[in-house]
Structure 1
Amino acid sequence: MSIHGLVASASTVGPSHFDIIKVIRPNILALHPYRCARDDYQEGILLDANENSLGHSITRAGNAQDAILDLDLHRYPDPAQLLVKERVASLRSVPGVDHIFLGVGSDEIIDLLMRVCVAPGAEKILITPPTYGMYSVCAQINDVGVVKCPLELTGASGEGGEAGRFSIRVSEIKRAVDADPSIKLIFLCSPGNPTGTLIPLSSIRAVLDYSNFKGIVVVDEAYIDFASDDASAVSLIKEYANLVVMQTLSKSFGLAGVRLGIALAQPPLIQVLTNTKAPYNISTPTGHIALSALAPISIRAMRDTVSTLGASRKNLIAEFAGLASLGVGSVIGGNTANFLVVPILDRADGKRDNARAQRLYHLLAEENGVVVRYRGSEPGCEGCLRVTVGTEEENKTAIAKIREVLSVI
């Protein structure tokens, strides 16, 4: 059995123990994807897709500057989005558009990977808590089992997560795979959410090379632009057909409202995802905005923003250290993202205090207009709040409000 639509290639990519045909569910391999109108022709007198030929019905309402309204919104969007993919390929240094899949945020990609690879009620995924919650949510929706292999929860945090707290335990992942051959996907979040910890490429290689694991390693890099230039697992794609790297425009690009996720992998897996996706999953406005965001001038602006947020993150760490007398512990995690994980302590015994952290969380939001995220229920994050790095003014206000509330609870 072959992958429908995949262009034959004489070259092969390792590792030798991996065969994508054995990973993809048979019903997916047998699927003939829906052929939509815009797959064949996108120009001319378009009378093939039952669109409204008189145009969209949105009025400008006096806003003549709204460029979105000048798009052909009455036509179905480009199903391939090749121009966007070309700019992604250039930015991330992958060979071409056949290595790129676009989704409605990374969440669509997570769900799609489970649907094409993992048999409901029979097979499983592996996650490394504390980690992004949607892996488990998607697994439950798809009736897929979840094996949990927690990160290293003790010890000091290493810069970027090279060692210590919140590093992945490769030997434990291997043991879990040995114990349960039904594991088809391994999800690794790097930098981690909520840990901010970066997974070294050597650790990712060790999992990819493990011959007893016949499935796919998924590296979620939503925050990768906040890490060092050589941190991305995209550099491994040329060697490994059992790797998919997820990225997004939501974080460093500041386009969370656009909902554009990116999967980078070898062409066979990309073709499977393309065959299985909804026909027009990326809207015309999303494609238009993404194309602008990936232009060279916008990429330079993104990198300037990342640099500013990095400096603000350091300042925020220092500000939290100044609240130690009020029961704020040292920031934990690798701190290679645009947020911090802050322990809230019992002022009497100095231990992490979930009840106090929850009270601070609610009082900040309900009485002080500052919304952070309670993460105390996550392994290794007891008593912790996750605080996004805001603007300079937002950071100042947040610290002032936290100081005010902690002084009375």
Structure 2
Amino acid sequence: MPILGLPPSQLPVKPSHFDIEQVIRPNILTLQPYRCARDDYKEGILLDANENALGHSISAQENDALGEDPMLVMDLHRYPDPSHDPIKERIAALRGVEGVDRVFLGVGSDEVIDLLMRVCVAPGKEKILITPPTYGMYAVCAQVNDVGVVKCPLELTGQAGEGGVKGRFSLKVDEVKKAVDADPSIKLIFLCSPGNPTGTKIPLESVKALLDYEKFKGIVVVDEAYIDYTDQASSAVSLVKDYANLCVMQTLSKSFGLAAIRLGIAIAQPPLIQILTNTKAPYNISTPTAHLALSALSPASLATMRSKIATTLTSRAALLKSLASLAHLGLGSCIGSNDANFVMIPLLSKDGARLDNVRSQKVYKALAEDNGVVVRFRGNEPGCEACLRITIGSEEENAVVVRKLEVVLREL
């Protein structure tokens, strides 16, 4: 059955054991997408979409308060472009992707996660696989969509794996394969790389092992929200050209510093991108979001982004060194491989003899409620007992974190 909106292809599908028509739910394959007004014509006297032809209702007084804000020159009374190809072109160029037909834009990565479940996984019948500790929205979206969750934990012991196939928080490929063998209803495998909250990347060797596994007929989803904080050779985007059963998620929220605009990205081969496009809401990306995203992807803005990444990495190294100086107060060594814009530190008992989840919670609350420093308690996650996750702040913020943490550790 041809995918609506996608020209037929005579090229062989790789890997040969994958058939997207067996992965996508039948009702989605036959879905007739909503045709919106801007699908046909985008210029002229536009009287086809029941928009307000008199323009937006932001008052002149508010306009004056905003000054020369570029948002004011947008046609806010018009529905946005449903495709946003100029943004996709810049993303494709940035990530080395062949064309816009391999790029999908969502309202944050969370929309991509939700859409993948809705198009691939039958509610009440089929499942996804996740690898705890991992990003919590995979399980939340699964519950919302009445989708089962199979958990195959990462390696929870040992030292940080330095991006290798062994070590703490590495992917247990053989265990994932066993889970797939035991449950053919698994349609999606979610891998977070670099991981949240682990900060550890999954090597491409491990990803390929699952993509090539003939008994898994579904899609491997690699969430690369933090990919810009590690070497680009680690990105699974390089595998997209060879694997139709791969979807890579990225975002403008982290390295680009645009969490507020909610722009997520999926990179995959055209059949899956077309399915996502057919299923999404017609105007999911707003005009203000598109305007800011396009600006962020300009050459000058990309240079700024890379400069800030370099600053973050330098600050991360300095913060780790400062935190290590608090070991005598019961602050443990960082766990994970530190491939993201955060670090994860365990709290020990005051005598340093054991991990202390109770003390960690107390430190977390004391920092936030008495010292104005908010970090994240992750001690209830597998393999993260007594851990606090600390985002890399500005140089001044990092200094405050260390100073306040020392005070709290002495008190508790």
Give me the TM-score of the superposition, normalised by structure 2: 0.98
> Where does residue 394 of structure 2 map in the other structure?
391
> Where does residue 3 of structure 2 map in the other structure?
3
1:149 aligns with 2:152: yes
1:138 aligns with 2:148: no
**Correspondence for 1:371 among 356, 360, 374:** 374
1:47-86: CA deviation from partner (whole Å, max 9, x where unpaired): 0000000110113143322110110000000000000000
CA contact (8 A) 1:253 1:293 kept: yes
Q: Look up the SS of the partner of 1:196 in the other structure.
A: coil
CA contact (8 A) 1:160 1:335 kept: no
Kindly state the Cα deviation for residue 364 of structure 1 after the two structures are TM-superposed. Answer: 0.6
CA contact (8 A) 2:87 2:294 kept: yes
CA contact (8 A) 1:162 1:198 kept: no
Instruction: State the distance in 2 between where 1:80 and 1:196 align.
Output: 33
Instruction: State the distance in 1 between where 2:77 and 2:137 align.
Output: 33
1:235 aligns with 2:232: no
1:162-192: CA deviation from partner (whole Å, max 9, x where unpaired): 4300000000000000000000000000000
> Where does residue 346 of structure 2 map in the other structure?
343
1:172 aligns with 2:139: no
Kindly state the Cα deviation for residue 9 of structure 1 after the two structures are TM-superposed. Answer: 2.0
> Where does residue 70 of structure 2 map in the other structure?
67
Instruction: State the distance in 2 between where 1:318 and 1:349 align.
Output: 19
Q: Look up the SS of the partner of 2:256 in the other structure.
A: coil
CA contact (8 A) 1:127 1:186 kept: yes
1:8-157 residue pairs with structure 2 within 5 A? 8-59=8-59, 60-157=63-160
Instruction: State the distance in 2 between where 1:23 and 1:158 align.
Output: 33
Report the CA distance shift for 1:258/1:161 in structure 2 as closer, same or farther (over 3 A).
farther
CA contact (8 A) 1:184 1:214 kept: yes
Instruction: State the distance in 1 between where 2:97 and 2:411 align.
Output: 54
1:279-318 residue pairs with structure 2 within 5 A? 279-318=282-321
> Where does residue 189 of structure 1 map in the other structure?
192
Instruction: State the distance in 2 between where 1:395 and 1:64 align.
Output: 34
1:253 aligns with 2:245: no
1:300-354: CA deviation from partner (whole Å, max 9, x where unpaired): 1111111110011011111110000111000000100000000011012521111
* 2:175 partner amino acid: E
Which piece of structure 1 moves more, 147-156 or 2-11? Answer: 2-11
Instruction: State the distance in 1 between where 2:101 and 2:66 align.
Output: 39
Instruction: State the distance in 1 between where 2:163 and 2:197 align.
Output: 13
Q: Look up the SS of the partner of 1:300 in the other structure.
A: helix
Kindly state the Cα deviation for residue 207 of structure 1 after the two structures are TM-superposed. Answer: 0.4
1:358 aligns with 2:369: no
Q: Look up the SS of the partner of 2:81 in the other structure.
A: coil
* 2:146 partner amino acid: D
CA contact (8 A) 1:161 1:197 kept: no
Q: Look up the SS of the partner of 1:257 in the other structure.
A: helix
Q: Look up the SS of the partner of 1:155 in the other structure.
A: coil
Give me the TM-score of the superposition, normalised by structure 1: 0.99
**Structure 2 portions without partners, runs of 5+:** none
What is the total number of aligned residue pairs between the two structures? 409
CA contact (8 A) 1:58 1:69 kept: no
Which piece of structure 1 moves more, 58-67 or 114-123? Answer: 58-67
* 1:238 partner amino acid: K
Instruction: State the distance in 2 between where 1:119 and 1:162 align.
Output: 32
